[in-house]
C-alpha cells in the first residue's frame, strides 16, 4: 500500500464527518511544554473549539510547544486564565458541562460516561492532577482504567484517548 501525501491526503481526510460536539480543553498546571504542545496538536486534530491554559501551565510562545504541536498553537484559539475553577465557572454559564479526567471516588470509566454535546474536558498537573478546588467546580469525573502497574498515562495521551472517545463513542 502507498501512503497518501499532499492533496490526496487532504482530500481523504475531508471525507470524515466530524461529530457535532463542542469541546474545550482546560489544562490546569500542565508544566511540561511537550504535553502542552501535544494538547494543541490533539485539539486541532479533534476540532476542539478552544484550549484554556491555567496556573503554571507552559504557554506559547515556547519553542517546544511550537515544535511538538507543529505550530498548532497559532491555529487553535487559546487563552490563559490563572484559576482553572474560574474557567470552569465561566464555561458553565455558557452551557458547558465540565468533566475532569481524574481518579476520584465518584469517577466513572471514561468509556461508560454519558457526555453532553457541550463539554469542557479538564486535565491536571503531571504529578498532582486536578486540584480539589477545580474538582469541586466540575460536574463529573472520568478515569482511564489501568491494567498494569502504572497508575496513569501521560497527560496528553489521556487527553487524546478521552477526547476521541467523546467524539466517536461517547
Query: 122: domain range?
Result: 19-168
User: Does some domain include residue 134?
Assistant: yes
User: Does some domain include residue 1?
Assistant: no
Cβ(108)–Cβ(99) below 8 Å: no
The rounded distance, in Å, linking the Cα atoms of 77 and 56 is: 19
User: Does some domain include residue 33?
Assistant: yes
pTM assigned to the model: 0.94
Q: Work out how many domains the chain is built from and give that number.
A: 1
State the sign of the Cα–Cα–Cα–Cα dihedral 38, 160, 40, 53. Answer: negative
| 3-62: pLDDT as tens digits | 999 998 888 888 887 788 999 999 999 999 999 999 999 999 999 999 999 999 999 999
Residue partners of 93: CB distance under 8 A and separation at least 6 = none
User: Does some domain include residue 108?
Assistant: yes
CATH number assigned to the domain comprising residue 104: 3.40.1280.10
| 133-166: pLDDT as tens digits | 999 999 999 999 999 999 889 999 999 999 999 9
User: Does some domain include residue 146?
Assistant: yes
Continuous H helices in the chain: 6-14, 33-46, 63-68, 84-92, 132-137, 155-168
Amino acid at each position: 500500500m502507498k501512503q497518501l501525501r499532499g492533496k490526496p491526503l487532504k482530500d481523504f481526510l475531508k471525507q470524515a464527518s466530524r461529530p457535532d460536539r463542542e469541546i474545550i480543553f482546560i489544562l490546569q498546571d500542565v508544566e511540561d511544554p511537550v504535553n502542552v504542545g501535544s494538547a494543541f496538536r490533539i485539539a486541532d486534530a479533534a476540532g476542539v473549539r478552544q484550549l484554556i491554559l491555567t496556573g503554571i501551565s507552559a504557554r506559547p510562545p515556547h519553542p517546544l510547544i511550537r515544535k511538538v504541536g507543529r505550530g498548532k498553537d497559532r491555529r487553535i484559539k487559546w487563552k490563559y486564565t490563572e484559576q482553572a475553577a474560574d474557567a470552569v465557572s465561566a464555561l458553565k454559564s455558557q452551557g458547558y458541562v465540565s468533566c475532569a479526567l481524574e481518579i476520584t471516588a465518584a469517577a466513572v470509566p471514561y468509556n461508560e460516561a454519558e457526555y453532553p454535546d457541550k463539554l469542557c474536558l479538564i486535565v491536571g498537573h503531571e504529578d498532582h492532577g486536578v486540584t480539589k478546588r477545580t474538582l469541586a467546580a466540575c460536574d463529573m469525573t472520568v478515569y482511564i482504567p489501568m491494567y498494569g502497574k502504572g497508575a496513569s498515562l501521560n497527560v496528553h495521551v489521556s487527553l487524546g484517548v478521552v477526547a476521541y472517545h467523546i467524539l466517536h463513542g461517547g
